Amino acid sequence: MASSLQDTVTLHNGVRMPWFGLGVFKVEEGKEVIDSVKNAIQTGYKSIDTAAVYGNEDGVGQGIRESGAAREDLFITSKVWNADQGYNSTLEAFQTSLNKLGLDYLDLYLIHWPVEGKYKETWKALEKLYKEGRVRAIGVSNFHIHHLKDLLEHAEIKPMVNQVEYHPHLTQEELLAFCEGESIQLEAWSPLKQGELLRDETIKDIGKKYGKSPAQIILRWDLQNKVVTIPKSVNEERIKANADVFDFQLTDQEMNQISSLNKNERVGPDPDDFDF
């Protein structure tokens, strides 16, 4: 189990991915994202997660450069947007992301949503990028079990990661079990349900016992469920606080209490109903 911010999980291809990272969804391009990335890396974060559609890859790249960290010490993720899916357009989108970030390679590149009729061609493009060594690991985002099964039937290389909405109101237990069975690492976006879960009394009570905030309790729950997590923050203190989750352990009873809050409730779209 992760015991520090630098701890990693080994993906099925042998690449080591940090358990914990910074997400930059809705973080403004320019100073806000530059400072957020720089502060996170200087706090000890190794993993930064962005996407083409976030419109802040330039700033993420700038923050990486200003942090002074060695490239090989970092784990940088981006994603191909729905409008760019398809074989050739994905290859072009990847190059655009790389140029904006100012990097020679990515550590992880994901298909952002399972666009019907397109994601298999998109996956072929990711396989090509992977074989060429331009990305160290490839994966998907927002894929349900049926999307994964469909992809696995046609894929030459199995996805290493599936990044999905995951939090105590959306525990996705079947998906987690399926991914574990296929050696696909589950990763959580919106782990705090955009702040809504911070008001939950059960989580607050558990936090009091450990002297931890509701956010820290939830992020610890992610890690103990063996789910990689990437909370977003632009506040330097919160970036530090989010990462302060390695000095305590939830009991099995507390883990179950938190899991029992599940409502199968989303803040983002359902991948089956997403208007592509």
Catalytic residue numbers? Answer: 54
Q: What is the CA radius of gyration of the chain?
A: 18
Q: Name the phi and psi angles at 78, rounded to 5.
A: -140, 175
Tokens 């989580």: give the residue.
203
The strand pair at 161-165 and 47-49 is best described as unpaired
- CA dist., res. 238 & res. 256, Å (int): 26
Residue 92 one-letter amino acid: E
Element (H, E) at 172: none
**Could you give the 3-state DSSP secondary structure of residue 138?**
strand
Greatest Cα pair distance in the chain: 53
Structure tokens at 67: 């942090």
Alpha helix (H) residue ranges in 44-86: 57-67
Here the tokens at position 245 are: 């989750």
Best CA proximity match to 6, nearest among 75, 59, 71: 75
Number of neighbouring beta carbons within 10 Å of residue 30: 12
Residues 6 or more apart whose Cβ sits within 8 Å of residue 118: 82, 85, 86
Alpha helices per DSSP H over 102-182: 119-131, 145-154, 173-181
